Structure 1
Amino acid sequence: MSIAVRIAVLKERADGETRVALTPETARKFLALGATVAIETEAGRAASYADEAYREAGAEIASATEVVKNADIVMGVQAPEADLLEGARQGALVLAIFDPFSRRDRVEQFAARGFEAMAMEFMPRITRAQSMDVLSSQSNLAGYKAVLSAANEYGRAFPMMMTAAGTVQAAKVFVMGVGVAGLQAIATAKRLGAQVSATDVRSATREQIQSLGAKPIFVENVAGIEGEGSGGYATEMSEEYRKAQAELVSSHIAKQDIVITTALIPGKPAPRLISDAQIATMKPGSVIFDLAVVQGGNVEGSVPDQTVTKHGVKLVGYANTATHLAADASALYSRNLYNFLSAFWDKDAGKPVFDEEIGNAVRLTQGGKVVNERLAG
């Protein structure tokens, strides 16, 4: 008879991180698979999940040291430092967002300690992995929150309002970058009654923009620019496209009230989409929300977690937008982890056994070595 797999969840220690990797809902599901679940005291408090809710679900609540002791699987939102996992089993799985390009040192530490680190942000964007994709679930909420935060900073109404005193015109919202966050930003702005337009380097997004009732704004007559990278992510633009896009944005942005920028390239600084000169063409009181601010920013002059006013325009951006919706962000993230592990759960072995396509894509370390191809060299 196999010994039940022990799943450990620690309280997040990164500055400003309010999410938790496991909710009581998914704790019950893991227990139903035959695993045991241990959670550090008050790990879910910042996300509005009380210790008592975990106890009721059947989880053990204990100190960090006790939780990690003999753990087979450790789950986190942002990867913990390796020394926090002292006492976990040799070869234990660690599932988290690792930021491996910026924190290669941490990846090396996990390898040296014999842990099998799984970077959830490396989940391939293929059909069967959609329910496991933490970037998509968190980006969805981030796109929604970006519009709400911009609306809060904007000193006027979003929808057209016809009153006895006159008509209030609808706000004009421009979304730059139509990935998961951008699509949700479009949908949210439309629901609030704004007049919405959007752009992207990938021509395939034109129909997606139109399907949400927004106006697509695209560079025309620049051949061969698709912007589609591997795995469904955007890639870098050519110099010709950059110039054409800058001209298009400059003419369009001056007419906008709200701009939401969402452009990211995995493993590289965020592309600069809006310059100081372009900001200066916007109307005073306009707002730009930079969802890429922590990766260097799409907007010149934006600062994480600060509202910066330039030329009468407010620049806003959070270092971690999803944490501003901690309860829902945690619930979705937790389900992503459950969907990932349960899809490969071997009932006879009582643990997950990963296939090559998905397992190799997210695995950073194994057998004391860094094994992910994206970290080669």
Structure 2
Amino acid sequence: MNFKDLKIAIPTEIMEGEDRVSATPETVSSMIEEGAEVLVQAGAGEGSFFSDQKYQAAGAEILTDVEKLFAAADLILKVKEPQFNQELDKHEVDLMHAGQYLITFIHPASPGNHQMVKKLAEKGIISLTLDSIPRISKAQAMDTLSSMSTVAGYKGVLMAADILPKFMPMITTGVGMIKPANALVLGTGVAGLQAAATAKRLGAVVHAADIRPEASEQAQSVGSKPLDLEIPEAEAVGEGGYAKELSEKLLEKERGIIAEQIEKFDFLILSALIPGKVAPILITEAMVKKMEPGSVIVDIAIDQGGNCEITEPGKIVKKHGVTIIGTKNIPGMLPKSSTWMFSKNIYKFISHVIEAGKIEIESDDEILSSTLVTDGEKIVHQGALEAMNK
């Protein structure tokens, strides 16, 4: 009975286009078996095709009033970071109270979220971010970032194909052969690897680049051609196999290599991330200007600031003849698959960090210390603090 006497709230996600939900009837049932009382906002699961009746059958209480839902909860589980609720004319943080736990994707290093994170600290919220779960063996089943990255990599290529003004595969016609599209995937972690594999399956000629040798080799294993960024391994690979934050000098070197070849690519998939930090700028406006008119950039890294200098968060824009996709909730576009994965990940996470209905903030547990953003008094997340002080 690990969750004994804990009231867990599952609100409806209010970000535009966000159809995911943080728990399914299956995981709600598991929480209740562990002693929790689960409150679900009416309609929270409709976008992912889970009815209120299914949640009720699992043992949840359905509430229509979101303010009552937030007020009653000890722990709030969300998919996206707190947003401004237009209907209530209030921010979701303003619905919370001191001592509450919040677990969601907060992306605390992203500049657009700094004010919200500061507000969480001021309100006395104990918040944990799912985008900072360390990539270690015991956290594998909790790795929401990898799960959602799989969705983003797959869907990002489909979005590029939809906008691209030419065929992706080679096409033979009665008037001649049309050459396949050329793709460049930057960052071949989970999202980039899935993007490279999907683009290859759709018939594109795929080049891929990652500063980590192992990630680059994995991209080659799914049929992509390597683009060597010439970054020494010692400078590239950090703890847990994640990419390290590079110096400005090495970033300039990396951008220079990409700039030399960028004209030959019809579309770019950008997914280079540094855990808990702002995403590195790999594509400058000057580089976008060099691309052929009609080219497409899908900036999957936008939730952490984006890899392209001129991506507009949450928007699809055309600049210098290039369509730049800054959609912020790509996994939400495949809500059924992404919710199935996310709900299982977050259940595993809370099962790990909660003991006897509480989170022990002073714990030296690596997973807890990596994900803690605000401790009820102040901001403690290292990546957020570094980004705020730049």
Structure 1 residue 205, shift from structure 2 partner: 1.8
Secondary structure of the 2:246 match is coil
Q: Match for residue 74 of structure 2?
A: 72
Structure 1 range deviating more: 337-346 or 123-132: 337-346
Q: Which amino acid aligns with 1:84?
A: L
In structure 1, the partner of 2:107 is 99
Q: CA offset at residue 326 of structure 1?
A: 2.7
2:91 maps to 1:83: no
State the SS of the aligned residue for 1:299. coil
Count of residues in correspondence between the two structures: 371
Superposed displacement of residue 131, structure 1: 1.6
Query: Within 2, Cα distance between the matches of 1:357 and 1:272?
Result: 29
Q: Which residue of 2 aligns with 1:363?
A: 372
SS of 2:55's partner is: helix
Determine helix, strand or coil for the equivalent of 1:234.
coil
Q: Secondary structure of the residue that 1:11 maps to in structure 2?
A: coil
What residue is the counterpart of 2:149 in the other structure? 139
Report the equivalent of 2:347.
Answer: 338
Map of 1:312-351 to 2, 5 A cutoff? Answer: 312-343=321-352, 349=356
In structure 1, stretches of 5+ residues that fail to align are none
Q: Give the TM-score normalised by the residue count of structure 1.
A: 0.85
* Offset, 1:241: 3.3
- Native 8 Å contact 2:12 2:21 kept in 1: yes
Question: In the alignment, is the contact (CA less than 8 A) between 2:10 and 2:40 conserved in 1?
Answer: yes
RMSD over aligned CA atoms reads 3.0
1:12 aligns with 2:13: yes
Q: Distance in 1 between matches of 2:104 and 2:252?
A: 38
Residue 215 of structure 1 deviates from its aligned partner by 0.9
Report % sequence identity.
40
Asked if the contact 2:185/2:195 (under 8 Å) is kept, the reply is yes
Cα distance between partner residues in 2 of 1:244 and 1:369: 37
Offset, 1:105: 5.1
- AA paired with 1:150? A
Amino acid at match of 2:102: V
Aligned-pair CA distance for 1:286: 2.2
- 8 Å contact kept, 1:225–1:238: no
Task: Give 1:205's aligned residue.
Answer: 215
Q: Is the 8 A contact 1:186 1:212 kept in 2?
A: yes
- Matches of 1:373 and 1:236 in 2, distance apart? 13
Aligned residue identity for 1:246: R
Alpha-carbon distance between aligned partners in 1 of 2:291 and 2:119, rounded to the nearest angstrom: 48
2-side partners of 1:352 and 1:295: how far apart? 26
* Corresponding residue for residue 175 of structure 1: 185
- Off by >6 Å, runs of 4+ in structure 1: 350-355
Q: Does the CA-based 8 Å contact 1:273-1:298 persist in structure 2?
A: yes
Check 1:164–1:241 CA distance in 2 against 1; reply closer, same or farther (3 A cut): same
Give the number of the structure whose alpha-carbon radius of gyration is greater: 1
Distance 1:217 1:351, change over 3 A: same
Give the helix-richer structure, 1 or 2. 2
Task: Identify if the C-alpha distance between structure 1 residues 117 and 282 changes in structure 2 by more than 3 Å, giving closer, same or farther.
Answer: closer
Q: Matches of 1:314 and 1:118 in 2, distance apart? A: 35
In the TM superposition, what is the alpha-carbon distance from 1:55 to its structure 2 partner?
Answer: 1.9
Match of residue 127 from structure 1:
137
Partner of 1:272: 281
TM-superposed CA distance for 1:60, in Å, is 1.2
Find the counterpart in structure 2 of residue 214 from structure 1: 224
Gap change, CA 1:85 and 1:277, over 3 Å in 2: closer
2:262 pairs with one of 253, 258, 278: 253
Structure 1 position 129, deviation (Å): 0.6
